[in-house]
């Protein structure tokens, strides 16, 4: 086959997909801000997205904080006692906390949302909602978007604390740092903006995670195979978009280039 035709097809499919996502989002966002608001469903989704993601996010943050402390120590000189806690806390709050939590929740939650909505699509449950005079965007999509946007900052705040604690455990018990000095240097190295920028990122990542799960699940077709494909696509696209959005927001918050 003509390679140019292949490239053309790829880009047409890519732009088609991007367009579909924007159209989906343009229906989903108004559904979030217009009644009816299903509080019971939002709370249910907050439990699923937030509470049940705590173990995986906590463990990831702990080990990331620990590994970061080790890496910085290996590359530093006598100023390690000052550098390690400050770089750990900045690395965790600004970048690794939100990104690692975002990626882990994308794997867990985007997949679950896509599988659930995909199954509802192929078993005609979404059609049934429409025949029961219920807007699927308001009943299915909006609660998931709201819940993800609200819970991701909370998850990341917890991940920040656990990540710093991971660095502290490694610093104190493995690198023989003084505990009080480590904590003092951690606090000294931290500014409010470092934490809030991470929390803003988390809210955006939450939106991406829920949107990708809902988009791929809602539009899945072709039975079990289609639901499987929707699940994979949801996770992959959420992960890529999280990393891209992270770069854009880092440049926005902290400036980029020279």
Partner 1 sequence: MTPKIEAKGVFKRFGAKVVLDGLDLTVMPGESMVIIGGSGTGKSVTIKSVLGLVTPDKGSIKVDGLEVTRLGGSAREKVNRKFGMLFQSAALFDSLKVWENVAFALIQGRGLGRTEAKDIALAKLAKVGLGPEVGELSPSELSGGMQKRVGLARAIAAEPEIIFFDEPTTGLDPIMADVINNLIVTTVKDMGVTTLSITHDMASARKIADKIAMLYKGKIIWSGRKEDIDKSGNPFVDQFIHGRAEGPIKMEVGR
Q: Check binding of 139 to partner 1 (CB under 8 A).
A: yes
Q: Does 47 bind partner 1 (CB under 8 A)?
A: no
Q: Is 124 in the site for partner 1 (CB under 8 A)?
A: yes
Binding residues for partner 1, rule CB under 8 A, total: 14
What is the rounded distance in angstroms from the CA atom of residue 240 to the CA atom of residue 208? Answer: 10
Taking the complex as a whole, the smallest distance from the CB of residue 130 to partner 1 amounts, in Å, to 6
Q: Is 35 exposed, middle or buried (0-12, 13-18, 19+ CB in 10 A)?
A: exposed
Choose among 15, 65, 21: nearest CA to 212. 21
For the CA atoms of the chain, what is the radius of gyration?
21
Among 7, 13, 14, 130, which residue sits at the site for partner 1 (rule: CB under 8 A)?
130
What is the C-alpha to C-alpha distance for residues 243 and 240, in angstroms, rounded to an integer?
5
Does 13 participate in binding partner 1 (rule CB under 8 A)? Answer: no
* Contact set for partner 1, span 194-253 (CB under 8 A): none
Measured from the CB atom, is 126 or 239 closer to partner 1? Answer: 126
Q: Is 2 in the site for partner 1 (CB under 8 A)?
A: no
Contact flag: residue 86 with partner 1 (CB under 8 A)? no
Contact between 131 and partner 1 per CB under 8 A = yes
71 binds partner 1 (CB under 8 A): no
Does 6 bind partner 1 (CB under 8 A)? Our answer is no
- Cβ-Cβ contacts under 8 Å for 65 (sequence gap 6 or more): 88, 92, 96, 162, 163, 164, 165, 166, 167, 168, 170
What's the rounded Cα separation, in Å, for the pair 230 and 247? 26
Distance (Å, whole) CA 46 – CA 48: 5
Residues lying near partner 1 in the complex (CB under 8 A): 36, 120, 123-125, 127-128, 130-135, 139
């Amino acid at each position: 086959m003509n390679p140019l035709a292949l490239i053309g097809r790829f880009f047409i499919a890519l732009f088609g997909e991007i367009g579909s996502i924007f159209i989906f989002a343009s229906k989903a966002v108004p559904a979030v801000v217009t009644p009816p608001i299903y509080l019971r469903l939002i709370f249910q989704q907050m439990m699923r997205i937030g509470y049940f993601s705590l173990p995986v996010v906590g463990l990831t943050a702990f080990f990331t904080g620990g590994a970061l402390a080790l890496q910085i120590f290996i590359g530093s000189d006598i100023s390690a006692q000052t550098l390690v806690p400050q770089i750990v806390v900045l690395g965790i709050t600004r970048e690794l906390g939100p990104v690692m939590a975002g990626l882990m929740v994308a794997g867990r939650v985007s997949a679950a949302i896509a599988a659930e909505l995909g199954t509802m699509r192929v078993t005609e449950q979404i059609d049934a909602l429409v025949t029961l005079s219920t807007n699927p965007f308001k009943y299915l999509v909006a609660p998931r978007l709201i819940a993800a946007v609200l819970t991701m900052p909370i998850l990341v705040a917890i991940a920040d604390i656990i990540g710093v604690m991971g660095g502290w455990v490694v610093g104190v018990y493995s690198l023989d740092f003084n505990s009080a000095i480590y904590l003092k240097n951690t606090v000294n190295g931290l500014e409010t903006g470092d934490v809030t920028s991470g929390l803003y990122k988390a809210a955006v990542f939450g939106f991406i995670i829920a949107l990708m799960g809902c988009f791929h699940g809602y539009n899945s077709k072709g039975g079990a195979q289609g639901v499987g494909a929707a699940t994979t696509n949801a996770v992959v696209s959420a992960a890529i978009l999280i990393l891209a959005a992270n770069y854009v927001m880092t440049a926005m918050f902290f400036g980029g280039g020279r």
